[in-house]
Amino acid sequence: MLDIKFVRENPEIVKKNIENKFQNEKFPLVDEVIALDAEKRTVQQKADELRANRNKISKEIGALMSQGKKEEGMALREKVNAQAKELEELAQQEAELTEKVTKIMMTIPNIIDESVPIGKDDSENVEVQKYGEPVVPDFEIPYHTEIMEKFNGIDLDAARKVAGNGFYYLMGDIARLHSAVISYARDFMINRGFTYCVPPFMIRSNVVTGVMSFAEMDAMMYKIEGEDLYLIGTSEHSMIGKFIDTITPEKELPLTLTSYSPCFRKEKGAHGIEERGVYRIHQFEKQEMIVVCKPEESPIWFDRLWQNTVDLFRSLDIPVRTLECCSGDLADLKVKSVDVEAWSPRQKKYFEVGSCSNLSDAQARRLKIRVKGENGNYLAHTLNNTVVAPPRMLIAFLENNLCEDGSVKIPEALRPYMGGMEKIEVK
């Protein structure tokens, strides 16, 4: 969320940013929120003047009473009482205007970084770099659920009976592989200096609106009926929420955390054929990383975060590439984002397995995440990135490590988490 003062002083910059994000329908909101803010400040000024005047009169009443001028004092008291009623009305008016301003400000997108390519949607994202040589073997790569079924590793039919579409049972060596990847990712990030954390898997509405846009919230979040609680769509939500309404001494920054959680998503809308199976689902597990840092350090941390994901996938013999997300593909709170995509030998193309985002001070402003510096308090910057998110990551793992005889090789880095296994053999 932007600072209202910035919007007030730079309306054309804000409108140009809206244009770059292809959200022209939001143009009128800029002028509307500036007008509402001006009205609110007028009401505030009037209320402040009334308070000052009331305090002055109250002192006069005290002086009159001490001089025995009771009638004059009582007359002034009636004036104070009348002003109290007017102040109450002004306070209510101010609260209503504040709510309207905040509601609009929550929908105006953050100012994107000047390096972000301008484009309408994800089809215009820009490839940055490839890591590892993408290989297409000379034998057929089956669909990922078929690979899993050969190991008796998945049961989608039973899951549909129990929970409906978008759920799964993982079993045997595939379930073990799933857990091994999560454990490996946890230790990978700990070895890079991140503090491990298991956060709450539900969060309150004020945290939800603090970490994401209304559009994202509606498309993603499951609400707990009858309670002010939502199931998290990613542990970033509760991890950033951990710092709500806090002031951290500057010397303690950066705060670098890696977290495990199950994730729950509505996944509204229709999806293509390549999103069957366990590619796009309502429930999955994830290892995440977040950083809370000084504003001048967030670009450095942004590059470090996505590089962590690249390094992890390469350590498991999976070729990847990075994509710079264009302006139209950025959620409203993000100033810059890079997707990490893994190579799919079956599809002969890359697909998304992680996303790294710099949100500057947008989440910090909403959640009051502040830093105590030498010259006073200021807003922190927040960043997040996917370490790994199986079972989607398992698709890339199985396809890239599949052998012609149907077995799946286990890269050396993962073997300690698989009991020393070098291969998963077909059942």
Tokens of 397: 């793992």
Task: Among 70, 105, 140, identify where a domain stops.
Answer: 105
If asked whether residues 243 and 352 sit together in one domain, one would say yes
Rounded to whole angstroms, the Cα distance separating 242 from 394 reads 30
Rounded to whole angstroms, the Cα distance separating 409 from 395 reads 14
**pLDDT tens digits, one per residue of 241-289:** 999 999 999 999 999 999 999 999 987 654 544 456 888 889 999 999 9
The pLDDT assigned to 64 comes to 59
- Determine, yes or no, domain membership for 111: no
If asked whether residues 47 and 75 sit together in one domain, one would say yes
If asked whether residues 91 and 128 sit together in one domain, one would say no
- Residue 153 sits at φ, ψ, to 5 deg, of -105, -5
Q: What is the mean pLDDT of residues 85-110?
A: 91
Task: Among 49, 76, 105, identify where a domain stops.
Answer: 105
- Determine, yes or no, domain membership for 160: yes
If asked whether residues 169 and 82 sit together in one domain, one would say no
Tallying the residues shown for the chain, one arrives at 427
Confidence band for 52, pLDDT divided at 50, 70 and 90: confident
- Determine, yes or no, domain membership for 112: no
If asked whether residues 70 and 139 sit together in one domain, one would say no
β-sheet bridge partners, residue 154:
170
Q: Is residue 195 scored above 90 in pLDDT?
A: yes
Q: Is residue 306 scored above 50 in pLDDT?
A: yes
β-sheet bridge partners, residue 369:
246
If asked whether residues 98 and 128 sit together in one domain, one would say no
- Determine, yes or no, domain membership for 306: yes
- Determine, yes or no, domain membership for 144: yes
Amino acid at 62: G
If asked whether residues 302 and 177 sit together in one domain, one would say yes
Q: Residue 126: CB partners within 8 Å, gap ≥ 6?
A: 117, 119, 323, 324, 326
How much of the chain exceeds pLDDT 70, in percent?
91
7 within 8 A of 34, measured Cβ to Cβ: yes
Handedness of CA 202, 287, 135, 307 (dihedral sign): positive
Tokens of 323: 């994509």
Rounded to whole angstroms, the Cα distance separating 386 from 234 reads 9
Chain centre distance of CA 289:
11
Q: How many domains does the chain have?
A: 2
Q: Is residue 84 scored above 70 in pLDDT?
A: yes
Tell me the pLDDT of the chain averaged across its residues. Answer: 91
266 within 8 A of 237, measured Cβ to Cβ: no
Rounded to whole angstroms, the Cα distance separating 278 from 392 reads 6
Amino acid at 344: S
Q: What is the mean pLDDT of residues 65-69?
A: 66
125 within 8 A of 328, measured Cβ to Cβ: no
β-sheet bridge partners, residue 132:
none
Strands 369-373 and 246-249: parallel
- Determine, yes or no, domain membership for 117: no
If asked whether residues 316 and 389 sit together in one domain, one would say yes
**pLDDT tens digits, one per residue of 389-413:** 988 899 999 999 999 999 999 999 9
The pLDDT assigned to 49 comes to 82
If asked whether residues 44 and 89 sit together in one domain, one would say yes
The pLDDT assigned to 326 comes to 98
Q: What is the mean pLDDT of residues 98-123?
A: 96
- Determine, yes or no, domain membership for 25: yes
Task: Among 105, 133, 162, identify where a domain stops.
Answer: 105
- Determine, yes or no, domain membership for 378: yes
Confidence band for 76, pLDDT divided at 50, 70 and 90: low
**pLDDT tens digits, one per residue of 200-242:** 999 999 999 999 877 777 778 999 999 999 999 999 999 999 9
Whether pTM > 0.85 for this model: the answer is: yes
What is the domain extent for residue 323?
122-424
**pLDDT tens digits, one per residue of 317-355:** 999 999 999 999 999 999 999 999 999 999 999 999 999
Q: Is residue 70 scored above 70 in pLDDT?
A: no
109 torsion bin: left (phi>0), alpha (psi -120 to 50), beta (else): beta
- Return the closest-CA partner of residue 108 out of 24, 2, 12: 2
If asked whether residues 194 and 334 sit together in one domain, one would say yes
Tell me, what CATH number does 277's domain have?
A: 3.30.930.10
The pLDDT assigned to 270 comes to 43
211 within 8 A of 367, measured Cβ to Cβ: yes
If asked whether residues 242 and 188 sit together in one domain, one would say yes
Q: What is the 3-state secondary structure (H, E, C) of the chain?
A: CCCHHHHHHCHHHHHHHHHHCCCHHHHHHHHHHHHHHHHHHHHHHHHHHHHHHHHHHHHHHHHHHHCCCHHHHHHHHHHHHHHHHHHHHHHHHHHHHHHHHHHHHCCCCCCCCCCCCCCCCHHHCEEEEEECCCCCCCCCCCCHHHHHHHCCCEEHHHHHHHCCCCCCEECHHHHHHHHHHHHHHHHHHHCCCCEEECCCCEECHHHHHHHCCHHHHHHHCEECCCCCCEECCCHHHHHHHCCCCEEEEHHHCCEEEEEEEEEECCCCCCCCHHHCCCCCCCEEEEEEEEEEECHHHHHHHHHHHHHHHHHHHHHCCCCEEEEECCHHHCCCCCCEEEEEEEEECCCCEEEEEEEEEECCCHHHHHHCEEEEECCEEEECEEEEEEEECCCHHHHHHHHHCECCCCCEECCHHHHHHHCCCCEECCC
If asked whether residues 351 and 203 sit together in one domain, one would say yes
